Structures are given as C-alpha cells and as structure tokens.
Structure 1
Amino acid sequence: MQEMTTDVIVVGAGPVGAMLAGELGRAGVRPLVLERRARPGTAQKASGLGGRILDVLRYRGLLDRLTAISADASPKPIFPFGGVYLDFTGLDELPLHAMAIPQAEVEELLAENAVDLGAQFRRGHEVVAVAQDDDAVVADVEGPDGPYRVRARYLVGCDGGRSRIRELAGIGFPGSTYPEVNRLAVVAVHESVTVLDDGGIVAPGVGRVEPGFTHTGTGVFALGRVSSEDRVMFFQTTENDDTEYDNDEPLSMVELGDSVRRVLGGEVALGAPTRLSRYQFQDRQAENYRVGRVFLAGDAAHLLPATGAAMNLGMTDSVNLAWKLAADIHGWAPADLLDTYHLERHFVGGRALLQTRAQAALRQGQDPAAQALRAVFGELLADEPALRRMGALVAGTDLRYPMPGTSSLTGTFAPDLILDTDQGTTTVAELMHAARPVFLDLADRADLREIVEKWIPVDIRSAGTVDRPADAILIRPDGHIAWAAAIDESSETATAELSAALTRWFGVQS
C-alpha cells in the first residue's frame, strides 16, 4: 500500500478542522486535511460567529476578511437563551458580540487561509483505520483512486458528533439525545401575512403571533424580524420527536410548513427562503480529548443542547491545540504540554455545557411551573450585573484557565492594549498575528527581559500603554496570559514566577 508522511493529520474540513490547519501552518507545521465528503456540505448549519472567537480571529488578522463577506457584522444585540432573550441594547459596552455569516462561508475562508499557509486538503478521502505507537500515528485512507496510508506525528479528529476517529480511538462519549427536533428558516412571508412594527405577524387562520417565543401545547414557535426594511423573518419550530434525522439532509419547505402547522395550529404563507436547517440537540462530552497521539476537537469532543455556541467553541479548541502540537514537533515543548489540551479544553467544554444545559431546562416544559421559571429568569435579567454576567458566560469571555501564579490576570485572555513602541504604535492583537509566544514589558523591566532572553521561542516586546494592567505579561500563542507581574512587583518574586512559567509552557532554557 502506498504510504506518505506529514506532520499532522486533520480529519474533517469543517470550520474546526480548517481553523486547526491554518493555525498549524502559521506555526510552521505541515498539516494534511482529510475530508470524507467529496465537496463542501450544502446543509445550512451555524449562521454566525460570536463571543471570544471573534477576538481570536482579530488577533490572527482574519476578522476583517470575515466582516467583508458577512451579511451583518453587527446584528442587533438580542440573543435567544432557552426560551427567553438576553437583550443588551441598553448597555454602553456589550458583553457579547456576534457576526451573521453562514458556516459554509466561514469554512471556505478558513480553508483558503490554511492552504495559503501550507496546508493540503483532500476531499473524498475517508479514514477507515487508525493505529499508533510511541513514534507515530498511521491512518488507512480510502480515496477516489484507491486505498493508501498516511504516517504522521499526530492525528486530530475534527469529524463531528458522529466522529469515526473518536470511535477508532475507543474514547467514550457519554450523554443524552434530547427528544426534540428544531426546524429553522430565514424566509420571506407572503403578502397575505401582516408584519407588525414590533416584529410580530398576523396570519390568516392563525391570528397574531408575538415576536420571541410562543409556547403551545404541541411545541415552541420562535419568531424574529431579520430586517426592518423587508418582510424577511426568522422562523423556528421545536417539537418533541424521537425520530433520528440525518442533519446533513436539507430541510424542505414542505417539512417546515407541516411543522409550523402542527405547532401553531394553522398555516403561515411563506415565500422564498434564504436559510433552511434542521437540527437535534445532544448533551455529550468525550471522556478524554486525547489518547496517545490522537486528539479530538469540536463536535467530536462535545455536543451542546443549544444553538450559537458549538462552532465558536470548536474553533477555540483548535487554537488551543495547534500551538502545543507545533511546539512538540519543533522540539521545544515541555514534557506535559500536550496533556494541558485536555485539562484546559475539557474544563471549557464543561462551562459551555453548563450554560447550554441551563438553556435546555428553561426552554422545556409548557406547564405553569416552567412558565414561572422563564418569567423569574427574565426578571433577573433586568438587573444589569446579572445580564452582563450571563453575556460573559455565553461569550466565553469569563474564562480563566486554571494556572499557577499569583496574578488575577494569569489564565485570562490578553486584553488588546494600545502599545507605544520605538517603532510606532501597535496593539496586542497585531503582535499575536504570528501566533508566537510574546513577552510584553510594559515598565522597562530589564531584570525580567534578561530572564526571557534565554527562551528562544518567545518574542520580547517593550512598550508603554495607558493604565498598564501589569509591569509585564507573558502571552501564549493562543492569546492567554501565562504569567503577569504586578505593578512594581519585587524582582525576586517576579523573576522566580516568570522562570517557572517559562519552563512550564515553553520548555527548558536555551
């Protein structure tokens, strides 16, 4: 059997696999992306990006490219949350940002970026077997021209909720499937339907339907206005149904219309759709994100029982993993660096499951107790601190990786400071475009710079900034702070903690 070699095999060419391939290429690693589908999928799945991933994309210089093709780069800041809404319109500073852009367009841009950075994509190539030893992982692949074998240092399964890689690796995926089916459409309503100023509608045979969530005896109907300038609406039905659908099969207008009729008790005349999708919720998390040289990311590692989080979570899995694989391949990773991928991302996946499980609890149930729960939760969201806290939870911006260190900044995402340097003004985001570790000296601490100079992988930058949060910060390639020195912290304490952090994340000194 023909055999080829590469650095990393990425199985799955969706947003998670494409993001991983680009991150690896940026770090000087050769990834091979294998996708069983012969061409990109046409089923409309995720409809946008939101939360922390937007900051990550900006730190990689990709956000402007996505903004240029987005249908709406700054949608109205009102987000569904389990049968109620998080409404941030009254806040000066938003805790949750979003961008309307179809998943297919995200996939295409990320794949183009990855190819530009040296990744190779092969579509119509299915991994059918995986074996590994202490030195390599080997994948047997069925391609259009017959079987072949690929040998690599590592393999990452980004192949979705029904992951073949997870199965081949023997990784448990405990959890449950919710007995409900969701059908979603962005569609123009017929002229016989009256669109009200508040976003509701009046349809013959149905009557008035309020904007937001309408709970009936047969399910839930969600309604929202996409634009105030036309008759395009957001429709979604949720019905209890034990049937297991293939979500790659496109939703038809007939199926949508039948569902609307069952939930509302009448027909709503609809025009041409711009989006149709069907999905079922699962609540699952892989027991391990790593077995030897095989890793999982995205839906292969976790499935969430609510919309709006899965693609964002999976792409940040990729950013966390890529630099660690690259460090090991380039020879400067500490012995346990790859183990931190499971430790950190399993923790983050648990946080995502926490808030999406809460959404599932809020949206389910039509009895008075369930209605009271949603009403009380809605009243709590009238308080700004509670609203901001929920926004940060959904966005993932409240995340702090558990790391050793005395600073409250350690483990958090590095703020995008405006930096004054000898070469002019720059920002933290611009420094992170290269996806390298950065030591940022904000207080001319020669004692600290002298320590860092012994670690070749780390870029040293000195700068001034207004209201500096620390004397110095050490930023990992994924944008998270590995260490920070408090303002005017003593040299003895700062140098000891800095040396420990450098050793923990970037190996022994040169």
Structure 2
Amino acid sequence: MFLSIRACREGSTVDTDVIVVGAGPTGLMLAGELRLGGARVVVVERLAEPTGQSRGLGFTARAMEVFDQRGLLPRFGTLEKSPMGHFGGIQFDYTVLEDAHFGARGVPQSQTEAVLEEWAGELGADIRRGWELTKLSEDGHGVEIVAATPDGEQRLRAAYLVGCDGGQSVVRRAAGFDFPGLPATRRMYLADVTGCAIRPRFLGERLEHGMVMAAPLAPGVDRIIVCEHGTPAGDRPQAVEFEEVAAAWERITGESLAGGGADWVSSFTDATRQVSAYRKGRVLLAGDAAHVHLPAGGQGLSTGVQDAVNLGWKLAAVARGRAPEALLDTYHDERHPVGARLLMNTRAQGMIFLGGPEADPARAVFGELMELEDVRRRLAGIVSHLDITYDLGPGTHPLLGRRLPPRPLELPDGTRTGTADLLHPARGVLLDLGGDPAPRESAARWSDSVTVVTARPEDPDAFAGATALLVRPDGHVAWAAGGDSARDDVAAGIDRLVQSLHHWFGSPEVA
C-alpha cells in the first residue's frame, strides 16, 4: 500500500489534500474531479464574486463530450451545435469527421463557470473567494500558501497545489516554472457593445487597416473583436476603455460606435507560450496557467477543462495513497504535447487570418488544400480535439489511447444507456462487449476503482470490433481486445490488461 499523504511525514499535517488556485472553468472542473476521486480540495480565488462577463462563448466538441461524461450537459440547457466552422477564417463543414462539429456555440463563460461552481460545491469542494495568493512555498512534504483575505492574512497547507489562475498565473511565477515561447506581435480588443447597430461579420472581415468581427449575443448586445494593424503589442493584457475600442473600430471600418457603450471590454494578444514542465514537485499547472495562445475556436477553455479531467483522477488517487506519485508524471507526458499542438494550430490560424496582404499567398494555398477531404478531416480533428491520442502502451486496436466514442449500449436486462453515462462517477470502466469472462474476472480485483459493465452496442461496428475495453476515468481507452488485436495471444492480452490496471489504478490490494 502506498503511504497516505496525510502520514507522509511524522508530525506533518495538511489542511486539505489539494489546493486549487483559480475558480475559472479549469479550476472548478478540477475541483469536481478531485472530489469524485475522494480527495479533499480547497479552491482559492482572488475575486470576491464571479465577474459575470461572457468572455469565451462556447466549447469544442470534445469538451462537450467531457461535460457529458460527468452528466453536466443538462445543466447548460439547450445547446446549439454548429456543424459549420472555420480554420483561419476559411469556412468548412466539421461533420466531415465522425462525431465532429465546431462545438457548442453561444454559451457565455459566465454560464460555464456557474454550472461548474454549483457542481463542484455539491460534491463538497471548499471554494473560498476573496483569497488572493501572496506567497507559495514547498518543502518536499507539502505546499503552503499565504493569502490576503477579507479577514486578514491566512495560511493554508496541502499535499499538492494546482495553479489554474490563468495566463498571468501567480502560481507559475511563484513556483519558478520556465515559460518559453514567442512574444506578442499584435494586440486585439474585445467588447460586448450595447446601444449600436452593428452589421454582423460572423467570420471576420479583413480590411486595409485590420480585421474586425461582429456577432449578436442578445437583443441589443453585439460581441466585437478588433485587430488593428500596427497596434503596439506586449506580452501582457492591458486595461482598455470602450473609447479606445470604438476609435480603432472606426479607423478600420469607417463606422462610428458613437452613442454606444459596452458591458465590458478587454484586450488580448497573440503571445504564444507554454511551460516546459506541467509539474514541479508538488506544484502543477493546468489551463492558461500552463499555455497561452491566440483565442481561436473556443480551444483555450476547452483545453483547460480537458487538462483538469486528465489530472483530477490521477491526483486524487495519489493524494489518497492509492497510486504512486509517478502517476502524476503521465499528466505532463500526455497533456504537454496536446498544449504544444494547440499553440501550433492557433498560431497558424493567426498568421492566415490576421496577416495583411503579405499573407495572401499563404491564404490562397491554404484555400486550395482545404478542397481536399483528408485536409478537412485533419483540421476538424485538430480544432474539435476529437483526434487526441495518448501513448497508452502496446496494442494494435484503433481505439487504444483515443477517447471512447459516444455510442448507445444495451445492458443484459434490456436497459439502454450510453458510453458517457458509464463515466459519470469518474471511475475506470471495463466494458465487456463480447461475453468473455476473463477480462471481467481480471478487473474484478480492482472493484473499488473500476466498474465492470457487460453491454451490447446497438451498432455492431461502433467500437471497431472490440470485444472488451478498459476505459480510464477521463474517457480514454487504456486497453482493448478484439478487432485488429484479435490476432494477439489471448493470455498475452489479459497480461497487458492486468498491467494496465496496475499502472492506472494501483495495486488491487488497496483499490
């Protein structure tokens, strides 16, 4: 049995298992995941109240699946999925790839945060607003923070700390994470404008002096984005007033926003940076604290949520003493390449979409390439995040390392369910699709962390001929039998299953 974190050092005590800094979508999702895994968690947030600002307006297809895996989608109400999307402003149909779409549209970030905060609170997360981190220290046995609060300076100690505090992360700087990348080359403005009649420009419009986008959010409210050529950049967002945004809009479009106002305004840049390591000892980073980039297609929020879902069950298992600390290294191994690819695709989109006349040849070539179906499929997979594949060990089945697709199932008693429903508790799942008792018997030893389910897919081709699948709590397939892997020796396949169970879920004696 692995040592409990609470007993990792004689005389050492912690107030909680994990401190999460930041109550945005990433931090709140992580808090819920940790609670589902049985870990105690305190979320500290410098803002006394949520901003209520719309900010991000949706999430990707894979983030939508992740929310479905935890039973959260009904809390969002009716969601509009857009089959049509773009890459670098060039429009195409994302349904060229199975299960893909351009994501859930029109969901303000304030709503996403409200849904996740309510959920995490119901699960028992301790969310403390008005706590501003001022100091962080790690001694090898735990992490301690000092925070300024309405009640004065407070100290809090935990076994681990995760920074989910955004692009200007205090945690990242305080813990000394290396944050290499490319500086900003342009600054852009964003505003929710009221009191003006604005012509929609859903995909953006490139003009001589810059690019503008506009779309109605609600009656009398329009979201605009303004990118003026030659605007001084700088890595950090800067405070901005509506008058600055209106002046830039008029310089580019010749249209006046006089007499209007804004619910809120902000600025952002195309700075592209990623930490070299997602973990330093007992401090980890997730979401924008680990990677900043040009906003494109709702990928930032969605990637942060997926960071949280990848990390949460692992960190909970380690904090509870059910898995070795080395399990946390798989978080960096799996999510750092995803972050790097995110930076690559958003930077490419910025060059195509925001560049001036010098980018016209690249746009023309890119437009020709997108006439090819294979190119459209690849780009749909990149932006929807449905093509993310982790290296989860030997095996030849096409689902190995990929997410379990959402498919209907029939249980032995005739009840119908779906693959996402099986993942609501954030446990591992051994999905028996072929009636072979050997995988079920092997997984039964991990009954405290893996649920064994026998089911029949409504579509016989739903899982590429798989007869059994081991699915991690984040929805990725860690082992598969059947299909292309049917040629493998059966005993060797069961040995790999047992190895995978040990690797992801610890020893069965403690599971």
- 1:151-206 per-residue CA deviation (whole Å, 9 max, x = no partner) reads 11110001111111111211111112323222234546856x7x6xxx67xxxxxx
Does the 8 Å CA contact 1:438/1:461 hold for their aligned counterparts?
A: yes
TM-score, normalisation: structure 1: 0.88
SS at 2:456 equivalent: coil
Q: How far, CA to CA, are the matches of 1:231 and 1:160 in structure 2?
A: 30
Q: Residues 223 and 375 from structure 1, CA distance in 2 versus in 1: closer, same or farther, beyond 3 angstroms?
A: farther
Q: How is 1:7-406 mapped onto 2 (pairs within 5 angstroms)?
A: 7-68=17-78, 73-74=79-80, 76-88=82-94, 94-187=100-193, 190=196, 212-224=203-215, 234-239=223-228, 240-242=230-232, 244=234, 247=237, 249=239, 252-267=241-256, 276-307=265-296, 308-367=298-357, 369-406=358-395
- Report percent identity of matched pairs: 38
Q: Which residue of 2 aligns with 1:460?
A: 452
Q: How far, CA to CA, are the matches of 2:224 and 2:311 in structure 1?
A: 37
SS at 2:115 equivalent: helix
Does the 8 Å CA contact 1:212/1:224 hold for their aligned counterparts?
A: no
Q: Residues 144 and 225 from structure 1, CA distance in 2 versus in 1: closer, same or farther, beyond 3 angstroms?
A: closer
Q: Residues 269 and 140 from structure 1, CA distance in 2 versus in 1: closer, same or farther, beyond 3 angstroms?
A: closer
SS at 2:386 equivalent: coil
Moved over 6 A (4+): 89-93
- 1:280-331 per-residue CA deviation (whole Å, 9 max, x = no partner) reads 2220001111011110011110001233211111111011111001111222
Q: How far, CA to CA, are the matches of 1:270 and 1:429 in structure 2?
A: 49
- 1:231-281 per-residue CA deviation (whole Å, 9 max, x = no partner) reads 8655322023225597585x5442222011121245356756567443222
Q: How far, CA to CA, are the matches of 2:134 and 2:378 in structure 1?
A: 44
Does the 8 Å CA contact 1:4/1:149 hold for their aligned counterparts?
A: no
Shift of 1:8: 0.7
Does the 8 Å CA contact 2:132/2:149 hold for their aligned counterparts?
A: yes
Name the aligned partner's letter for residue 137 of structure 1.
V
Q: Residues 148 and 5 from structure 1, CA distance in 2 versus in 1: closer, same or farther, beyond 3 angstroms?
A: same
Q: How far, CA to CA, are the matches of 1:120 and 1:212 in structure 2?
A: 41
Name the aligned partner's letter for residue 112 of structure 2.
V
Q: Which residue of 2 aligns with 1:6?
A: 16
Q: Which residue of 2 aligns with 1:509?
A: 508
Shift of 1:133: 2.9
The answer to which of 178-187 and 151-160 deviates more is 178-187
RMSD in angstroms over aligned alpha carbons?
2.7
Q: How far, CA to CA, are the matches of 1:77 and 1:420 in structure 2?
A: 28
Q: How far, CA to CA, are the matches of 2:363 and 2:497 in structure 1?
A: 47
The alignment status of 1:412 with 2:422, answered yes or no, reads no
The alignment status of 1:429 with 2:420, answered yes or no, reads yes
Unaligned stretches of 5+ in structure 1?
A: 201-210
Q: Residues 108 and 331 from structure 1, CA distance in 2 versus in 1: closer, same or farther, beyond 3 angstroms?
A: same
The answer to which of 78-87 and 314-323 deviates more is 78-87
Shift of 1:474: 0.3
Shift of 1:23: 1.1
Does the 8 Å CA contact 1:166/1:300 hold for their aligned counterparts?
A: yes
- 1:47-82 per-residue CA deviation (whole Å, 9 max, x = no partner) reads 2222311000001000111134xxxx2254443433
Does the 8 Å CA contact 2:183/2:235 hold for their aligned counterparts?
A: no
Name the aligned partner's letter for residue 9 of structure 1.
I
Name the aligned partner's letter for residue 414 of structure 1.
L
Unaligned stretches of 5+ in structure 2?
A: 1-12
